[in-house]
Amino acid sequence: MDTAGATSSSGAPPNIYGGLEGPESMYLKLISSDGHEFVVRRDFAITASPTIKNMLSGPGQYSESQPNEIYLKDIPSHVLINVCRYFAYKAKYTNSSIDIPEFPIDIQVVIELLVASDFLDC
């Protein structure tokens, strides 16, 4: 799910997306165990998962060599894509006034998704 989020530059075309640079970047890159890179909104990921928040801000074993990149070595890509969808679902329906539909989960991934959601605490 690589978005077309180009890193911000000074010669500005009308659609500028926030980039991956720096501590206040708008996006984060989550890397699954099989190498897929998922770019998600930083604020969505941080509000949904305290584990990701700790990985970014805490010292020690969670500090990453590349900033704004989190390597999740236990989560395969077919599970991580559902996690990213959940981040968007939660961000959309938090404090919403309309009926919240149920989050659809495919039967094939549900057990691994449970393990991943337990790890990410989301």
Partner 1 sequence: MSNIVIVVQPSILPVSQLLREKCNSPDFLTNNIWKIAFSPCSQYLAIPKQDIDGQHCVLVVHCSDWHAKNVTESTMRIHNQFNCTAAIWSLAFGQRTSKSNLRIDRRPFDASTLSTPTVRRGSLDRRSSLPVVNRRYDFSKNLFLAAGLASGKIEIWNIDTGELILVLKDHQLTVCGLDFTSCTMQLASCSHDTTIKLWDLFDDGNMYKTLNEWTHAINTVKWSPDETILCAVGPYELVVLFNTTTWKELFRLDGHLHTVVDCAFSSDSAVLVTASYDTRVLMWSTTTGEILKGFAHKIPKPLKIYAGGDNGAFVRSVAITKSNQFLITACDDNKVRWFPLLSDQSSSMIYEQTEPNVLYVATTPDGNTMAVSNRNGEVHLFSTLSTLSMNQPSSLKCFCRSAINTYSGVKRKDLLNLPIMRPLINYVLYKDI
Q: Which residues bind partner 1 (CB under 8 A)?
A: 48, 83, 86, 89-90, 93-97, 100, 102-103, 105, 107-115, 117-118, 120, 122
CB of 96 to partner 1, least distance (A): 6
- What's the length of the chain? 122
CB of 6 to partner 1, least distance (A): 30
CB of 84 to partner 1, least distance (A): 11
Q: Which is closer to partner 1, CB of 25 or CB of 53?
A: 53
Q: Cα–Cα distance between 36 and 29 in angstroms, integer?
A: 10
CB of 10 to partner 1, least distance (A): 39
Q: Cα–Cα distance between 110 and 117 in angstroms, integer?
A: 10
DSSP structure string for 1-54: -----PPP-SS--S-----S-STT-SEEEEE-TTS-EEEEEHHHHHHH-HHHHH
Q: Which is closer to partner 1, CB of 20 or CB of 72?
A: 72
Q: Which is closer to partner 1, CB of 12 or CB of 98?
A: 98
Q: 94 is written with which tokens?
A: 């938090």
Q: Which is closer to partner 1, CB of 26 or CB of 91?
A: 91
Q: Cα–Cα distance between 63 and 70 in angstroms, integer?
A: 9
